């Protein structure tokens, strides 16, 4: 049992969610989050014990951002705390556990009180939702445009819910989600997005042949009536997919690179589209404290149907099954319960 030092906060975890980041780190490591590392960073719980000087009391229900920007460097002063060089010095991992020790700086600027009546599994969506909020904030008028989202994971779902807004209506706009997995596409169809099926029928050669390649070839013809989008968002982090996206963007449109990529990833960009069609390629990384607050407000408002995203739960002892379920099953996110 960790003992909270000055400014630190010990939390009893109520629920922690699987996330693509955890799955990726478990599979291939992460340039920003080296081992040794206890995974789990989307969580909600109760303050068990606060260290000296921490502005928290035992019994308070809390959730948290993952990063803690310094607030003083050039990036922080420019309002780009997501790019603070020390924001990830002590990232808040370790929520797949009974207890979690929140470092002092994070307890000061990353921890948030859970509004009354909000379930742990909803509050635990704070981190991915804040990222999605920032992603859309990187594109002017993102919510007024036709949008194509590549990929069918939880981030694609959060982006869809943000785009359709509280009125739960696309209001004449098209929100199209492109991917392969039929059960995931069915989820998006249920939730008012159009879907574009990427053809992944096995090639001649039958069983044992190479797995189908995730290709966007043919996607243009599968979309009607219009087949180019002012905003195209990648949530796959797959260089082959990203390479295909500028062709799907409308003249003057934007391709938003939302998903993380391996450090060595390189993508060949259609420079012709960037120049002659003024297609912009924009990145989005993580979030700032403002997006954390906005995400918490959105969760309170009920704009995000959390139960649609966190649709399965497993005890902590079965974490492996939870990971497998998130990777291959129908659940977008699985709640791991200590």
Q: Which residues bind Zn ion (CB under 5 A)?
A: 19, 21, 42, 69-70, 73, 76, 84, 128
Task: Of 180, 177, 184, give the one whose Cα is nearest residue 198.
Answer: 180
Residue 28: CB minimum distance to Zn ion, A = 16
Residue 72 CB, shortest distance to Zn ion, in Å, is: 6
Q: How far is the CB of 76 from Zn ion (least distance, A)?
A: 3
- For 235, residues 6+ apart whose C-beta sits below 8 A from its C-beta are 149, 150, 151, 153, 155, 156, 159, 258, 259
Task: Please identify, using beta-carbon distances, which residue of 128 and 253 lies nearer to Zn ion.
Answer: 128
Instruction: For the chain, report the end-to-end CA distance as a whole number of angstroms.
Output: 14
Closer by beta carbon to Zn ion, 42 or else 48: 42
Residue closer to Zn ion by CB (options 197, 313) is 313
| Structure tokens that stand for 147 in this block | 């949008």
Query: What does the block give as tokens for 283?
Result: 């990145």
Nearer to Zn ion, 23 or 274 (CB): 23
Please say which residue, 21 or 254, places its beta carbon nearer to Zn ion.
21
If the CB atoms of residues 76 and 231 are measured against Zn ion, the closer one turns out to be 76
Which residues share a beta bridge with 9? 50, 102
For the bound state, the minimum distance from the C-beta of residue 154 to Zn ion, rounded and expressed in Å, comes to 8
Least Cβ distance, residue 86 to Zn ion (angstroms): 6
Round to whole Å and give the CA distance between 49 and 44: 15
Closest distance of CB 180 from Zn ion, Å: 22
Give CA–CA dist 183/190, Å, rounded.
11
């Amino acid at each position: 049992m960790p003992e909270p030092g000055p400014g630190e906060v010990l939390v009893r975890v109520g629920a922690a969610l699987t996330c693509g980041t955890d799955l990726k780190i478990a599979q291939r490591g992460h340039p920003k989050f080296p081992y040794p590392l206890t995974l789990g960073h989307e969580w909600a719980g109760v303050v068990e014990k606060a260290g000296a000087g921490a502005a928290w009391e035992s019994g308070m229900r809390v959730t948290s951002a993952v990063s803690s920007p310094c607030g003083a460097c050039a990036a922080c002063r420019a309002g780009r705390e997501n790019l603070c060089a020390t924001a990830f010095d002590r990232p808040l991992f370790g929520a797949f556990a009974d207890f979690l020790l929140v470092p002092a700086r994070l307890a000061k600027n990353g921890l948030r009180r859970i509004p009354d009546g909000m379930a742990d599994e909803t509050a635990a969506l704070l981190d991915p939702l804040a990222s999605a909020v920032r992603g859309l904030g990187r594109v002017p008028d993102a919510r007024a445009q036709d949008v194509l989202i590549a990929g069918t994971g939880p981030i694609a779902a959060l982006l869809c819910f943000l785009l359709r807004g509280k009125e739960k209506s696309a209001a004449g706009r098209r929100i199209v989600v492109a991917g392969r997995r039929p059960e995931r596409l069915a989820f998006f169809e249920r939730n008012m997005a159009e879907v574009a099926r990427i053809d992944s029928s096995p090639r001649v050669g039958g069983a044992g042949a190479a797995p189908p390649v995730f290709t966007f070839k043919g996607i243009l013809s599968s979309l009607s009536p219009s087949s180019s989008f002012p905003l195209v968002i990648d949530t796959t982090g797959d260089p082959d997919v990203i390479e295909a996206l500028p062709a799907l963007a409308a003249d003057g449109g934007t391709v938003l690179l939302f998903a993380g990529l391996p450090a060595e990833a390189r993508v060949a960009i259609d420079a012709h589209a960037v120049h002659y069609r003024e297609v912009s390629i924009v990145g989005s990384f993580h979030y700032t404290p403002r997006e954390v607050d906005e995400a918490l407000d959105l969760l309170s408002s009920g704009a995000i149907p959390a139960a649609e995203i966190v649709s399965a739960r497993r005890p902590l002892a079965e974490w492996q099954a939870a990971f497998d379920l998130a990777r291959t099953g129908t659940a977008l996110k699985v709640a791991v319960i200590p």
